[in-house]
Structures are given as structure tokens and as C-alpha cells.
Structure 1
Amino acid sequence: MFLATRDLAYAKGRFALIGGVIALITLLVVMLTGLAAGLGKESVSAIDTLPSHGVDQIGFSAPAKGQKVGYDSSHVEAKDIDKIKSVKGVTDASPLTITQGRASVSGVPSAVAVFAVPDGSFAAPKGVKNGSVVVGKTITKDAALKEGESISFNNKSVRVAKLSDDASYQHQPVVWMTESDAKAAGLLGQGSGTVALVKTGSGFSKDALTSATGLDVQDPKTSLSTISAYQAENGSLTLMRVMLMLVSALVVGAFFTVWTIQRTPDLAVLKAMGAHTGYLVRDAMGQAAILLLIGGGLGTIVATVLGYFAQGTVPFVLSLTTTLVPLALLFVLGLLGALVSVRRIVTVDPNTALGAAR
């Protein structure tokens, strides 16, 4: 990369400019990725963590005409739970009722999503029993709340056994509680969606469960697609990230194409002196790689620092998946964009050097 390094040293301004553009694009992509992951977590974390509670499958009732299968439209009945338990391979089953409510924390009202299960349900987080609940930690954004304190629903007061990092649903903190407490607080009624949480063992067949109960059976990960708010948010933010990555590839490709055109006489001279086309191509791609690593790395570092301080203010997830993965994708797409300029290197005619010397 003899020529590449000397070009970088000679045209500092040009390369600093394009490097700055790459850094800004990387900053935007990484920040959007972390934000998308944070928003997604606030929408579905309570569902996403159900497998850790022993839930392998989720059963939804058939939707009404014009509606889609989903947590809000499903109404699984007690007789369906009994049918599920009788299916081969099913070791346990429990209803989960999801509804909206308002909790009072030290007199401060807060909108919450209520996840009600029977007392002793296998799917309930540890600490959920009559008079005791588990609450999503995001409720503390509205009011100060600590473990061991109480929250109230209407005239029903319950003790907070635990504040959970993974208990959010549609951007609201989740309150896991027993059905008895939920009924006493007047939270269960019309508009509540009920699904069946299923724990399975050897010999389980999803088709057999569907045939026996008529339910739409999905695993927890697949069921996330039934949450409309999550799909809309995730789709929009993913589209923005894809567009930014394509812009990055276009910017890098355009820059190196123009740069190659400007130094065509130099390339022709090198070819006339015996430089192989492969050497010049590797040199150009190496130059692009250096620029992408420096610009992308700088953007990622800045985004990581900003994300670290933003975590407590906005929903933001800082991890290798939200930082290094976008950087790697931008690096690959940038190299693909730089490949556009390779064609001109390949087609440079050494005789051009003679014409340029006249």
C-alpha cells in the first residue's frame, strides 16, 4: 500500500472530509441501532423473557373477523387450558391475562400493563403471589419506588417484591400479579386479552396442540410479530438504518470514483512502469479500508460514549450487537461501494501516460 499511504498523507484535507462524513454516518447508524434496540426492549421485554420462566409456547384464540392474532385480541378460556394440559408432551399450562391499568406510587399515578396469572403459576416471576407483585423498573421514571414498598390500584394495595429490568410491554412498566389481586383491584374485565402459556416436554407436537384446542400456537420469539406497536417501530427504524448504510456505500463509492478519475494519469504512469493491475486494485481497496476503519471507528466510539450517558434518559441498549455489528456492516458496504472505482483502475491504458506527458 505504498501509493495509498502517500495519497493519504498528501491529500489530508480531502480524506479528512470523507472520513468525517463516514464518522457521522456511523454515529447515526449506531445511535439508531441502540435506540431501536432500546425501544424494542421497552415494547416486548416482558414477552421476550417468558422462556426464562419456563414458557415454551403461547396459545392464541382465533381472532374475530377483521382482526389479527395478537395479545390484545386473544381470549383463551379456562376450558382451553384444561384441553392444553391433556395434550401429550405438555407438562403445564397457565392463562396470562394482559390489561391496562393505573398504579399509584406514593400518590403519583402511573400507567402500567398488568400481567395477571393464577397464584402459583409456573410462568410467574419469583416473588409473585397474593399481595405481592413484581414491577418493571421503568415505573421509577414517574415516581420513586423501591423494593419492599407498596403500590395501589384503586383501593387495593400490594407489596413490591422485586423491580425487574425486563418487565415492559408496549412502553409501559409491567406489573406481574395474581388473578385474585387483579380482580380485587378491579383490573380484570372487558378489554382484557388472555393467552395460554404452555410448558412442554418430550413428545410435544405443536400440530397436535393446535388440532386439540383450535388455538394458534407460537413460540415466544415468533409471537413478538403480533404486537403491532413493536412491528411499526422496528420496521421504521430498520428502514432508516438500511437507508443510512446505503448512503454510506454510495458516498464512499462516489468519493473513490472521483479520486480515481483525478489520479488516472498517475495510475497510467505506474502501469507503464510495470505495476500490475492487481497491485493497484489492492492498493485502492486498502486505502478505502483504512478510511472506513478510521472514520467508522471514530463514529462508533463517539456513539458509544453518547449512548452510555443516554441510557438513563432514553431507551438505549449499549452492547456489541448495537455497536460493532453496525460498524462491520458499514465497513463491508463501504468496501463494496469502493469497488465501483476498481473498474476504472482495471481499464486504465498505460499509453495514457505518454499522452499526459506531451
Structure 2
Amino acid sequence: MFLALRELKHAKMRYLLIALIMVLIAWLVLFVSGLAQGLSSDNASSIQNMNADYLIVQKDSDHRLTRSTVPEAQLAEIRDFAGGSSAAPLGVQMTAVTKGGETKKLDATLFAIETEGMLAPAIAEGRMVDEIAPDEAVVDISFKEAGIALGEVLEEQMSGQQLKVVGFTKGQSFSHSPVIHVNFKVWGTIKPAVSRGGTGDGLQYNAVALQAGAAKADQISESVPGIEVITMDQALQGIPGYKEEQGSLLMMVAFLFVIAAFVLAVFFYVITIQKMNQFGVLKAIGASSSYLARNIISQVITLSVASLAVSIGLTYGVAAILPAGMPFDLSPRLVVLCSVLFLAVAVVGSLLSLYRVVKVDAIEAIGRAA
């Protein structure tokens, strides 16, 4: 470490330029990672934050909640196997709403739930919907940006149903639209019971949330016809555009890491080649290959840690001035993961330099130095 620090101090400009390149690459990696996580939350936070282990959907619905229909009779069968409190119905409807007295439409997704059940979201402001209220709703806090306040009345465009806002939630969005939670009394008004052969079948749900182990989930899947039990991850992948969006962003991040490995490998290899004579002299006076290797690794780690510290500061600084509507979420866990990967990539990129140092011939290097 002593030799590494002395060399960094001696060749300040050279290593400052390398550090600048590392800062820019790490900054780009962190920013794209934060954007990917932000878009993921904006697309599916209502599912990610759902208090359930599995979702039960209609068979052959491609894991898409909006394509699934679970009738009331099947809900009763599922609850017989799962236990009443372990299974909760869920209605999902993409829609648009308008603020009372205005014509501007706001995209939204209706989630019909049992307001005292396991799917009830945490309330950030106000209160939860009453189970039997005919016109109450809890909306995501992002509606505040559109001027929606507690007590405001929203009109659902498909049915004309009036919804009084009684509470706000946080982190509740689906398919890039904020979620409005309502009870099943309101849901029955917006999506009235359909008839099959002239007989009303009761309410129609899109899914049933399940809190259970894998064995119970398998038992329900085998025992109740016409349904499929899917994991929460499969439900996320079924959201339109989620898999494609995240796949593209993750590919960008992966390529950034690959590019970082090549760039750092080239920089450190060129610097190592320039110092081959000095390494040979050091070997001739007794320095071991392991000592010289530790010197290079110390330089790489020191530069990487310093660059990451600057990059993290820059990323959070930019995030603080981003528009509120821009989906960006850089959690500490993601920062740690990206930092560890970046350090690993930097060390891997220096392996070519280590190979050259180990193979250097002391006598030959001294001859070139003379």
C-alpha cells in the first residue's frame, strides 16, 4: 500500500484522469440502475408491496390480471382449501377519472379489495375506505400533483361512478398509473354482475391473493379447476411491458459493466507496460511478485472507492433536482450492489496487468532501464 500511495501522489494527473473516467462510468451505472428500479416501482409497486405469497388467476390468462376472471363460486372453493383469512379477492380495472367539475382525464387503475382484509394498503394520510360505503376511495399520493385533496370527488369514466377521496397511500401504482382502492360495493356498481344462461353469477374478480406455503398453493392448483396459482414474480412479469422494459434497462447496465471492465483493463495495462523497467528493478532488489501485485490491486481499489464515493454523491445530487414525476429510485441496497460489482469489475480488469508484472524478467528489465 505504501508504494501504491507514493505512486498515486507522484503521478497525480495520470491517475486523476483515470479516476475521472471511473467516476463517469460509475455515475452512469448508478443512474441507469436507479432509473430501472424507479420504472419498476412505477410499473408494479402495487404488486411488489402486496401482502401476499401467491396470486390465483384464471387458467390460460398468460399471468395477466386484466385478462383473468375468477367468479365468486371459485373464490368460495379456494377459501374452503386455503382458509377464509388466507385468501382475498382482488378486482383490477384500468380506467380514467376526472376531478369533479373538470374535463381533464387522469389515468388510473382501480383495485377492489376487502378494506379490512390482508390487501388493504397502508394509509399515509386520511383513512381507509369503509367496507360498505357506496362512494369512497383511497388514492395514491401521486394524485396530489394533479390537485386532488382529501374530500375531492372523482368521477370514474366508464360507469360515471362518483368516488370521494378519503385517504392517500404511498407506492401504489400499476402499469404506470396510480392505483385507486375501492370496496366491493363500489366495484359491483362499476362492474355489475354478469349473467350466464340467464343466471347471475355474482361478482367477478380478476385474481385471488393467497397467503400460504408452496404445498397449500399446489393443493389449491390441483383441486380447483380452471385456475392457476402464480408467484408474485410471475404476476410482475405478466404486467404489460414490465418484462421488456426491465430487460432493456438491465441489458444496458450489464453492457456498462462490460465496457467498464475493458476500459479499466486497457488503462491499467498501458500504465503497467510503461512501468515495466521499474518493476524489473524492484524485483532485482528483492521485491516479490506478490508485493507488486498487491501494489496494483491497492491502486485499483483506492481509485475505485474514491470514484464510487464521488459518483454516489453526484447521483443523489442529480436525483434531488429531478422532476417529481420522473421515476427514479436508488435504494441503499442497490447502491451497495452496484458498488460491489463495480469494484469486482475493476479488479478483474487489472488481472491482465498482474499477469505482466508476474512475468517480468528482472535482468531484462534492468538492461532496458540502463
Give TM-score scaled by structure 1 length. Answer: 0.90
How do 1:274-285 residues align onto structure 2 when only pairs under 5 Å count?
A: 274-285=286-297
SS at match of 1:115: strand
* Aligned residues of 1:35 and 1:317 also touching (Cα < 8 A): yes
CA-CA distance at 1:11 after TM superposition: 2.0
Question: What is the CA–CA distance in structure 1 between the aligned matches of 2:205 and 2:23, rounded to whole Å?
Answer: 46
Pick from 129, 150, 153: which aligns with 1:150? Answer: 153
Contact kept? 1:311, 1:317, Cα under 8 Å: no
CA contact (8 A) 1:133 1:159 kept: yes
- Which amino acid letter does the alignment assign opposite residue 208 of structure 2? A
Measured in 2, the distance between the counterparts of 1:259 and 1:188 equals: 74
1:145-294 superposed matches below 5 A:
145-154=148-157, 155-185=160-190, 194-200=206-212, 205-214=216-225, 215-294=227-306
The residue correspondences of 1:55-134 to structure 2 (distance < 5 A) are 55-63=52-60, 68-87=62-81, 91-106=85-100, 107=102, 108-117=104-113, 121-125=117-121, 127-129=128-130, 130=133, 131-134=135-138
Instruction: State the alpha-carbon separation in 1 of the partners of residues 330 and 82 from structure 2.
Output: 42
Is the 2:63–2:230 Cα contact (8 Å) retained in structure 1? no
2:198 aligns with: none
Q: Is the 8 A contact 1:89 1:200 kept in 2?
A: no
How far off its partner does 1:279 sit? 0.6
Moved more, 233-242 or 204-213: 204-213
Indicate yes or no: 2:343 matched with 1:342: no
Q: Which position in structure 1 is the counterpart of 2:9?
A: 9
SS at match of 2:119: coil
CA displacement 1:323-353 (0-9 Å, x = unmatched): 2321221011111111221000000001123
Whether the aligned pair in 1 keeps the contact of 2:96 and 2:105 (CA below 8 Å) is: yes
How far has the Cα of 1:89 moved from its partner?
A: 5.1
Matched letter for residue 120 of structure 2: A
Counterparts of 1:4 and 1:117 in 2: how far apart (Å)?
A: 62
Amino acid at match of 2:143: I
Cα offset for 1:92? 4.1
Gaps of 5+ in 2: 195-203
Q: 3-state DSSP class of the match of 1:291? A: helix
TM-score (norm. length: structure 2): 0.87
Cα distance in 2 for partners of 1:200, 1:271 equals 64
Call closer, same or farther: CA 1:275–1:336 in 2, change over 3 Å.
Answer: same
Check whether the contact 2:4–2:295 (CA below 8 A) recurs between aligned residues: yes
Q: Distance in 2 between matches of 1:162 and 1:43?
A: 22
**What is the one-letter code of the residue matched to 1:117?**
I
Q: Shift of residue 95 of structure 1?
A: 2.4
Q: Contact between 2:55 and 2:231, CA under 8 Å: does it hold in 1?
A: yes
Measured after TM superposition, the shift of residue 35 of structure 1 is 1.1
Aligned residues of 2:57 and 2:68 also touching (Cα < 8 A): yes
Distance 1:321 1:88, change over 3 A: closer
1:89–1:204 Cα contact (<8 Å) kept: no
Q: CA deviation at 1:193?
A: 7.1
Q: Which residue of 1 aligns with 2:140?
A: 136
Say whether residues 1:23 and 2:27 are aligned partners. Answer: no
Q: Is the 8 A contact 2:63 2:235 kept in 1?
A: no
Distance 1:344 1:276 in 2: 14
State the shift of 1:314 in Å.
0.9
Work out the CA distance in 2 between the residues paired with 1:232 and 1:138. 25
Distance 2:2 2:89 in 1: 68
Q: Secondary structure at the match of 1:87?
A: helix
CA distance in 2, matches of 1:49, 1:295: 34
Moved more, 239-248 or 104-113: 104-113
C-alpha deviation, 1:206, in angstroms: 1.4
Alpha-carbon deviation of 1:185? 4.4
CA distance in structure 1 between the aligned counterparts of 2:245 and 2:221, rounded to whole angstroms: 30
Structure 1 residues 187, 297: closer, same or farther in 2, change over 3 A? farther
Cα deviation 1:89-145 (Å, max 9, x = unaligned): 56443321211111112423201111123565542336133221111122334x111
2:199 aligns with none
